[in-house]
Amino acid sequence: MGKGATAVPEMFNTTKLKPLQETGNEAQDILMYVYNALQAKGYDPITQIVGYIISGDPTYITSHNQARSMICRLERDEILEELVRFYLEGHTK
């Protein structure tokens, strides 16, 4: 270790956030990224995302790792459309 450098003690439990995984579906990618950021900060991601969708208040989303700015790239109706599509594709024959 160089002069003036200090080791970070193992007692600091840090959470590593997965980078944005691109699937070709921007809404899905951003929702999963925001979900992981909220979870990493100890929030209930479902409750926080629903609060954001209903109110439009971006403070429901953590600014941790730019999750708030990521979700603001989407319109709320795009988020709802993605959620409905995902649900119905998994529950229809």
Return the ∠ at Cα 61 (arms to 60 and 63), rounded to 5°.
Answer: 130
Cβ-based neighbours of 25, under 8 Å, separated by 6 or more: 82
pLDDT on residue 74:
95
pLDDT tier, 24 (very low <50, low <70, confident <90, very high otherwise): confident
CB-count burial class (<10 Å; 0-12, 13-18, 19+) for 45: buried
Q: What is the pTM of this model?
A: 0.73
Range name among 5-14, 22-31, 68-77, 80-89 with the lowest pLDDT average: 5-14
What is the four-CA torsion angle of 77, 80, 85, 91, rounded to 10 degrees? -160
Range name among 41-45, 60-64, 87-91 with the lowest pLDDT average: 87-91
